[in-house]
Chains A and B, each alone.
Chain A
Amino acid sequence: MNFLAPLGFAFAAALPVVVVFYLLKRKRVVRLVPSTLLWQRFLAESQASAPFQRLRHNWLLLLQLLLLSLVVLALARPYFTGQASTAALQVVVLDNSASMQTTDESPSRFEKARAEALQLVEGLNTRNGQQMILLVAGAGAEVKQSATSDKASLRRALQTASVTDTPSRLVEALRVAESLTQNNPQAEIHLFSDGAVMGLEEFEARDLRLTYHQVGVRAQNAGIVSLDVKASPEDPSKRAIFTSVANFSSTPLESTLELLLDGRLLEAKAATVGPTNTVPVVFVAQQASNGVFTVRLSATDDLSADNQASVVSLLPEPAQVLLVSKGNRFLEKALAASSPHIEVSKAADFADPAAKVDLVVLDDVIPSAWPSGNVLAIHVVQTNWFESPISAQENPAIVDWKNTHPLLRFVSFDSVQVAQSLAVKTPSWAVSLVDSPSSPLVIAGELGRQRIVWIGFDTLQSTWPLRISFPIFIANVVDWLNPASARADQFMVRAGDPFRFPLEGEVANARITSPDLTQTELELGPNTRELVFGGTRRQGTYNVVAGTNAFAFCVNLLDAQESNTQPRSSLNIGRFKEIQQTTSKPANLEYWRWFALAGVAVMMVEWWWFHRRTA
Chain B
Amino acid sequence: MKTALLPPELLRRLEQIQLLAARRAKSTARGERRSRARGVSVEFADYRNYVVGDDLRHLDWNLFGRLDRLFLKLYEEERELPVRIFLDASESMNFGTPRKFDFARQVAAAMGYVALCGFDRVSFHVFPDPQAQDSQALIAYNQQMAVRGALRSVRGKKSAMQFFTNITALTSGGAADFNAALKRGALEARQTGVAVVLSDFLDPNGYEAGLTALVGRGFQVHAVQLLAPEELEPSAFGDLRLIDAETGAQQEVTFGKYRLKAYQQSVASFIQRLREYCQPRGIQFFSVSSATDLSDLLLKQLKESEVWS
Contacts and interface: CB of A to CB of B under 8 A. Distances in A.
Whether A associates with B in a native complex is: yes
Contact of B243 (A32, A41, A614, A615): A32
B266 A615 contact: no
Given A37-B270, A38-B202, A613-B256, A43 B251 contact: yes
Contacts of B239: 26-29, 49, 614
Contacts of A40: 266
Nearest to B238: A614
A32 B262 contact: no
Interface string A11-40: 000000000000000111111111111111
Contact of B237 (A36, A45, A46, A615): A615
A45 B92 contact: no
Nearest to B200: A34
Interface string A48-65: 011000000000000000
B284 to A, nearest CB: 23
Interface string A600-615: 0000000000011111
A24 to B, nearest CB: 13
**B: interface residue count bin:** 35 or more
Contact of B204 (A28, A37, A46): A37
Nearest to B95: A34
Contacts of B244: 33-36
Contacts of B258: 612-613
A42 interface: yes
A43 B92 contact: no
Interface string A362-387: 00000000000000000000000000
B67 interface: no
B253 A39 contact: yes
A34 B253 contact: no
Contacts of A29: 236, 238-241
A611 to B, nearest CB: 8
Please indicate which of the listed interface residues A29, A42, A50 has the most CB atoms of chain B within 10 Å of its own CB.
Answer: A42
Contacts of A28: 238-241, 252
B254 interface: yes
B256 A34 contact: no
A41 B266 contact: yes
Contact of A30 (B203, B243, B249, B254): B243
B245 interface: yes
Contact of A34 (B241, B245, B249): B245
Nearest to A26: B239
Nearest to A25: B252
A34 to B, nearest CB: 4
B200 A36 contact: no
Nearest to B264: A38
11 contacts: A27-B239, A28-B240, A28-B252, A31-B243, A34-B228, A34-B231, A37-B202, A38-B270, A39-B263, A42-B259, A50-B252
Interface of A: 26-43, 45-46, 49-50, 611-615
Given A33-B245, A612-B256, 17 more contacts: A27-B239, A28-B238, A28-B241, A31-B236, A34-B96, A34-B100, A34-B202, A34-B228, A35-B246, A36-B242, A37-B270, A38-B270, A46-B252, A49-B252, A612-B257, A615-B237, A615-B256
